[in-house]
Chains A and B, each alone.
Chain A
């Protein structure tokens, strides 16, 4: 079965730090990889698609990279409003697959 493995499952960092979240796929699938941000009680918000393309309106401190099986989401200069859970998602075909999520907190 196809699997998306995110790491770490949670992290705590200081305001201004750079944080990186990794998503690893059990099989390669090109760059049809998206990242979502979900704040508590809110709807998931698309941050990045096609592995590295920033969705309109998303701050430039968010960036994505990778292809094949290994992908990263980087938040440079972490801000208090970035406290959320982040999910990766493959969307090259159906079924969609999501990573388990990474909870980001402020130290």
Chain B
């Protein structure tokens, strides 16, 4: 079955860095774009970043540009989010989510039918 499993969250001080991972299984990871979406405590869902199926394109929300880097290793079926210069406003549960697909030159838009369980990042002094 399809699974996305995040790891790497924790409690860190403002100004420090953290690297999140999301390990995929049960589907051909290299066929799908993947996203990071976060949810601050008691708040709504907020899109953070995305990467194309082949890692050729990356996209970021304005509030993380220059601080966060999304990457992927298709040989290891793993998505990453390198987070630098963290602030208290980055405190949230971070979810990875499967997105659109591209197979054999054909691509299709998709809502996210699979999400990881989330990993909590707490930025506090």
Contact = CB atoms under 8 A, between A and B. Distances in A.
Contacts, number: 56
Contacts of B44: 85, 87, 98-101
Interface residues of B, number: 21
A44 B115 contact: yes
Interface stretch (B21-29, B45-53, B71-79, B84-92): B45-53
Given A87-B44, A87-B45, A98-B46, A46 B117 contact: no
Given A49-B110, A101-B44, A43 B115 contact: yes
B109 A96 contact: no
Contact of B109 (A44, A92, A101): A92
B47 to A, nearest CB: 4
B117 A43 contact: yes
B20 to A, nearest CB: 16
A89 B118 contact: no
Interface string B111-125: 111011110000000
B118 A43 contact: yes
Interface in B30-81: 35, 37, 44-47, 50, 59, 61
Given A43-B116, A46-B112, A96-B35, A91 B46 contact: no
Nearest to A92: B109
Contacts of B118: 43
Interface of A: 32, 34, 36, 38, 43-44, 46, 49-50, 55, 85, 87, 89, 91-92, 94-101
Interface of B: 35, 37, 44-47, 50, 59, 61, 95, 99-100, 109-113, 115-118
26 contacts: A32-B109, A43-B95, A43-B115, A43-B116, A43-B117, A44-B112, A44-B115, A46-B112, A46-B113, A50-B111, A87-B45, A91-B99, A91-B100, A91-B111, A91-B112, A94-B59, A95-B50, A95-B61, A96-B35, A96-B50, A97-B47, A98-B44, A98-B45, A98-B46, A99-B44, A100-B44
